[in-house]
Amino acid sequence: MYIKKQRLLTPGPTPLLPQALHAMMGSDIHHRTEDFRKIYRAVLADLKEVMGTSNDVLALVASGTGAMEASVSNLFSPGDRVIVCSAGKFGERWAEIAKAFGLDVILLQEEYGRSVSAQRVADALKTEANVRGVFVQGSETSTGAAHDVRAMGQAVQKTDAIFIVDAITGLGTMPLDIDGWGLDVVIGGSQKSFMIPPGLAFLSISPKAWGFAETAKLPRYYFNLKKEKKNAANGESSWTPATSLLLALAEALKYVKALGMDKLVANAEMLASATRAAVTTLGLELFSPGCPSSSVTAVKAPKGMDSGVIVKEYRSRFGSVIANGQGSMKGQIFRIAHLGYFDFPDLFAVIAELEIILTANGFPVKFGSGVAAVQNAYAEVALAKEAAAV
C-alpha cells in the first residue's frame, strides 16, 4: 500500500484554487442585501475586465450549456437560419440546441480531430441567404482542436448575422479579442479556466446581439438575458444566485487579475506545447495535430490498447483523474488538460505516470524521456529568460 493523492486533472472540472474553495465557507449571507450586491457587482466587473471587453457580461446559475441555450432562446426566433460549425461533441451540442428550439441549421461539419476552416464559414455566408447567426467552439474540448475565431469573426462582422462563440474552454487558453474580432456572444463556465467548481456560466453580449434580443420570439423563462441585465445593473441576479460559487469566483478573479489573463493563456500554451513534445517523444500520436488547442491535448492510445485502460490506471495506480474520449472517441484517446490552475509540476507528474502506465501494459518506454521533454520545455521558456535577464 502506498499513498495516492486524488488529483482532479480533467478539462472540467479542473483543479480548484485553494483560496477560492475556502471563500465558499462565507456563503451565510442573503442575496438581497448590500453585502451581496457589492460582491455581485465586483464579480461582474472583474469578469468583464479579464474577458477584456466593453460588452455587457452576465452570469447565470447553470453549467456552461445553460448559457449556450440562453444565447439561442434569447436571440433568435423560430425558423431563423443559422450556421453551426461542428468538429466534435460540443459542436454537435450547438446543433442539437439550435434544432431543439426550431432553428433552421446549416451544418458545417468536420471530422473529429480537425477544425472547420474560417474560409468555409465565409463561403457559407456568401452562398446561404438570410443567415442570422454563426455558432462555433473556440476550443472543442472533446477533440483538443481549436477554431480560428478571429478570421471567422471578421467574416461574420461584415454581415447582419451575429457570431456566438462557446469559449467555455477557450477563455483563459487562447487569445480572444472580443471587441476587436467581432465576437458578439462569448460564453464561459466556472469549472474550466476559472478554477472553481461547476455551476456558473457567463456570457458577454455585444450591442449587435442585444439588437437581436429586441425581436427574438423564442419562448424562454429562467434564462432571460434582458431581465438579467436589468437586475445586474442593480447588483442583483433575477433568481436566487449560487452564492457560494460567486464568493469562490470573486477570489479566483482576484487571482487571475493579479496574474494577468494573458499570462493565464501563456501558461496553458506552454503546458500544451510541452505536452505535445512529451507524448510524441514517447511515440504516441496527437489526435488533432493540425489545429491543437491549448486547453486540452487529446492523445491516441497506442495501437492495440484501449485508452480506457490508461485512464483507469491513472486512477488506480496514482489517484489521478484524467479524461477518456467522449462518444465514438471513447477508448481511442485520452485527454491531458492544461486550462486554469495547472502548473509544470502537475505536468511532470502526469507524464511520469504515463511512462509507467505504458510500460506496465506492454508498451515499454524509456523512463524519464517524456518527463525530460517537459523539463526541456520549461528550460526553454523559463531558464532561458532568467539567463537573458542577468
Ligand X SMILES: *Cc1c(COP(=O)(O)O)cnc(C)c1O
Which residues of the shown chain bind ligand X in the complex (CB under 6 A)?
Answer: 12, 63-65, 90, 137, 141, 166, 168-169, 189
Least distance between ligand X and beta carbon 241 (Å): 17
Does residue 383 come out as left (phi exceeding 0), alpha (psi in the -120 to 50 range) or beta?
Answer: alpha
Bridge partners for 82 per DSSP: 105, 133
Least distance between ligand X and beta carbon 17 (Å): 18
Q: Of the two residues 169 and 281, which places its CB atom closer to ligand X in the complex?
A: 169
Q: Of the two residues 55 and 173, which places its CB atom closer to ligand X in the complex?
A: 173
Least distance between ligand X and beta carbon 229 (Å): 22
CA distance 166 to 147: 11
Q: Of the two residues 187 and 261, which places its CB atom closer to ligand X in the complex?
A: 187
Strands (E), the chain: 7-8, 56-61, 81-86, 104-109, 131-137, 139-140, 145-146, 162-166, 185-189, 200-205, 296-300, 320-321, 323-324, 333-337
Q: Of the two residues 63 and 77, which places its CB atom closer to ligand X in the complex?
A: 63
Least distance between ligand X and beta carbon 11 (Å): 6
Residues 72 and 98: beta-carbon distance below 8 Å: yes
Least distance between ligand X and beta carbon 33 (Å): 29
CA distance 248 to 46: 13
Q: Of the two residues 144 and 241, which places its CB atom closer to ligand X in the complex?
A: 144
Q: Of the two residues 63 and 369, which places its CB atom closer to ligand X in the complex?
A: 63
State the residue number with the nearest CB to ligand X. 64
Burial 74-102 (b: 16+ CB within 10 A, else e): bbbeeebbbbbbbbbbbbbbbbebbeebe
Least distance between ligand X and beta carbon 40 (Å): 21
